[in-house]
Amino acid sequence: MKLIVGLGNPGPKYAGHRHNIGFMALDRIAADHGFTAWKDKHQGSISEGRFGSDRAILLKPLTFMNNSGQSVQAAMRFYKLEPEDVIVLHDEIDLAPGKVKHKVGGGHAGHNGLRSIHAHIGPEYARVRLGVGHPGHKDRVPGYVLHDFAKADQDWLDDVLRGVSDGAPFLAATEAAKFSNAVALRVSPPRSGTGQKGKDKPPAPTKQQATKTKAEPEPDTRSALQKLMERFR
């Protein structure tokens, strides 16, 4: 069984914030895969379900971002899970918007939600880093992540959330490469054709078609009177 955690802040005030993309991803997974209705438990909100034979618990900590680790630890104790059974989905300012990366272990890079989880369960859990872009200066980061996504972000954001949902069964099965591929198929779908320049141009005629074209007579544009006069020359 996997505990899939989405990071964010509770309440409608924060619902559209970049910092809440983890919550958004879990909402999409729960809706797409027929998980149970959300209920408050373990200092968070949980939804239960299965991806085939793999059981999973979705958890949105309701402790606010800085204390996310309390909720994660409480859920782990209840379900008797280890850090390797935990997957955390969170916003990542060091990735471009629309980029998604999977990793296991490592530092928290100053992310307050990860910092809290590190303090409560250690660093050896999996993370799905959901790129939201960087505002350009570190002093602008708090205001940037605690602000709604722009209208211009909605298309790529929808692709990312759908891609993460498509790949969720692979997360539960610990198949990171297949998860990443499922996301890529949504975010960067394969193009039709050969991918070469000029792929939208019509295909060149075959040799047979070219010969047939050359052999075709020129259309007769003479008037009826001209044709009659030609007969009596």
Q: Which residues are catalytic?
A: 19
Characterize the bridge pairing of strands 126-131 and 100-104. Answer: antiparallel
- The residue whose two tokens read 């939600």 is 113
The residue type of 106 is G
CA 127 to chain centre: 14
Instruction: Report, in angstroms and rounded to the nearest whole number, the Rg of the chain calculated over CA atoms.
Output: 28
Residue 100: both structure tokens together: 């998604």
